[in-house]
Chain A
Amino acid sequence: MRLKFKLSRQARIDLTGYAFIAPNLLGMLIFTFFPFFFSLFISFTDWDYTKGLGNWSFNFGANYVEIWKDEWFIAAVKNTLIYALTVVPITIFLALVLAVIIDKYCYAKTPIKLALFMPYISNIVAVAIIWVMMYSPWGPFTLLVQKLGWKNPPRWLGDYYWALPAIILMSIWSNVGYAVLIYSSAIQGLSQEVFEAADVDGANEITKFFKITIPALSPTTFFLITTTLITSFQVFAPIQIMTRGGPGTSTNVLVYYIYTAAFTFFRMGYASTISWVLFALLLVVTLIQWKGQKKWVSYE
């Protein structure tokens, strides 16, 4: 009797538990879990959207062979890596320096931080549009460069070599405020004792910055690297609005290529293949970070 009672009690707990997670689980399964595997299936077909839904034939991984002969794809991988591996370190280092300066030497800390933060809460589409105008021959950015002595600057977004750096600069501008905010709140949580001890030993500001501040903030740095790297690999809106992947292949990135392959050329199978390469890339990058974090992240 007693055993039976216990079982039914656990069964009741199970039932409540599943009732609580049901809406969430359902959404997760329908919109993430099953689509994930469905996308893997599509990536092994040559499905062309114009042929209609369900009209797909299995092509045994031919897409995964084709991508490596596709110069647009190679350029997309290269540009995505260049973009992410410049935007992330520069943004984070700049933010760290700014956060320390603001915390130590500035009056009006809050207004300064809010001003830096404005680009981050701004709609990326509107921001990209403003920067298209900033980079135009009569825009403030071009005029500033001319004033600094570069008489004939290139047409930034229209130039094969300058288009990607121009987008990278805009991305750093729009992301730095968020990182400053996160660093600032982490800095306020640091204990002052170590700094005071260093003062007694006569350490200068630069030494303290590299020997104390950077190691003490390493968990925050790790968090910022992880999150901004993932979003950088998925950059889309600035590319679609500012350059459409051009000139040539110079700013084609993975997500933009997924979008054009699927919704301009209707090659759904091929686009799914590229999306799986993106997924694999993210997985590898994340694994490297988790392996590497033991070496430099200290949780006291």
Chain B
Amino acid sequence: MTILMVIIVIGMIIPFLWMLSASMKMEKDILTLPIKWIPKYFYIDNYKEVWNIGGKAKVDYHFGVAYLNSLKIAFINMFGAVLTSTLAGYAFAKIKFRGSNIIFLLYLSTMMIPSQVTLIPRFVLFNSLKMMGGHLPLILPGLVTITGTFLMRQYFMQIPNELKEAAVIDGVGEFRIWWNIMVPIAKPGMAALSILVFLWNWNNYLDPLVFLSNWRKYTIPVALTNFIEESLTQYGLVMAASASALIPVFIVFLVGQKFFVKGLVAGAIKG
């Protein structure tokens, strides 16, 4: 059975292996049959051109900019969304303010709205605010996540009320209860949410495609498709670009795999 699984696993990662091997071949060798999985030479000029090392790029952009843009947006939204979700999730779970049930019901019903329905209104909004082309149309809506708020509320619901009541008797303010008592307990939930938010932003394609128009502002997915459109017949380059987008993520994932897997599974089961 293990052997059967190994065959399946190889089948699963063959596309990646092939990407790697093709990315280090010269154009004429990619098309030779049968496929040489390990090339006789390692032709790294494809990578140099993709990353614009030594002025190799024929096109006026390189991947470093896209990486920085993607990282910037994903990190800002990760911190922002986790903060707003933790604040609101705590309030919905532990503060008995009037109207909280109705507002939470509103949240639950908006969870059903697909982001494509609000895409055109957001386009109109950012257009009239003259924000098109920059990162704000991606960052501002990303600072709040309804799913995340829901997840954090579920997390805080599990924390016993006694913890809070003891602090209230001691006269500790609500904000300090949140920061000093609740946030430390909620850290695993916040970590899980961070990973989810990061991945959502990192892989978001439709929104950047609509809102960005300049290579200096592109995120990785949009930079990748633009690169491909301009060099579609150069397969080695295309594969080097894809590999450049994927490999750093694989490395981060493998290094922190325990953490990631736990986070993703926790997010799933609580959801």
Contact = CB atoms under 8 A, between A and B. Distances in A.
B22 A14 contact: no
Interface stretch (A29-37, A82-90, A193-201, A210-218): A29-37
B117 A17 contact: no
Interface string B118-129: 111111110110
Contacts of A38: 121, 124
Given A33-B106, A129-B238, A53 B35 contact: no
A126 B50 CA distance: 14
A95 B219 CA distance: 32
Contacts of B41: none
A20 B91 contact: yes
Interface string B220-260: 11001100100000010011011001100110011001001
Contact of A255 (B178, B206, B228, B250): B206
Contacts of B110: 28, 32-33, 36
Contact of A123 (B116, B221, B254): B221
Interface stretch (B94-102, B157-165, B183-191): B94-102
A114 B265 contact: no
Interface in B124-141: 124-125, 127-128, 140-141
Contact of A107 (B2, B220, B249): B2
A191 B4 CA distance: 27
Contacts of B71: none
Interface string A19-55: 0110111111011111110110010000000000100
A42 B114 CA distance: 16
Interface in A73-130: 98, 101-102, 104-108, 110, 112-119, 121-127, 129-130
Given A20-B88, A101-B1, A241-B225, A275 B144 contact: no
A124 B242 CA distance: 10
A283 B112 contact: yes
Contacts of B261: 113, 117, 181
B119 A275 contact: yes
Contact of B2 (A108, A227, A276): A108
B51 interface: no
Contacts of B114: 230, 233-234, 275, 278-279, 282
Nearest to A271: B120
20 contacts: A17-B96, A31-B141, A32-B146, A33-B106, A35-B121, A42-B120, A53-B127, A101-B1, A112-B5, A113-B261, A121-B250, A122-B16, A123-B202, A133-B235, A138-B31, A140-B14, A185-B265, A234-B116, A262-B119, A279-B114
Interface of A: 10, 13-18, 20-21, 23-28, 30-36, 38-39, 42, 53, 98, 101-102, 104-108, 110, 112-119, 121-127, 129-131, 133-134, 138-140, 143, 173, 177-178, 181-182, 185-186, 223, 227, 230, 233-234, 236-237, 240-241, 255, 258-259, 262-263, 268, 271-272, 275-276, 278-279, 282-283, 286
Interface of B: 1-2, 4-6, 8-9, 12-16, 18-19, 22, 30-31, 33-35, 83-85, 87-88, 90-92, 95-100, 103, 106-107, 110, 112-125, 127-128, 140-141, 143-144, 146, 149, 174-175, 178, 199, 202-203, 205-206, 209-210, 220-221, 224-225, 228, 235, 238-239, 241-242, 245-246, 249-250, 253-254, 257, 260-261, 264-265, 268-269, 271
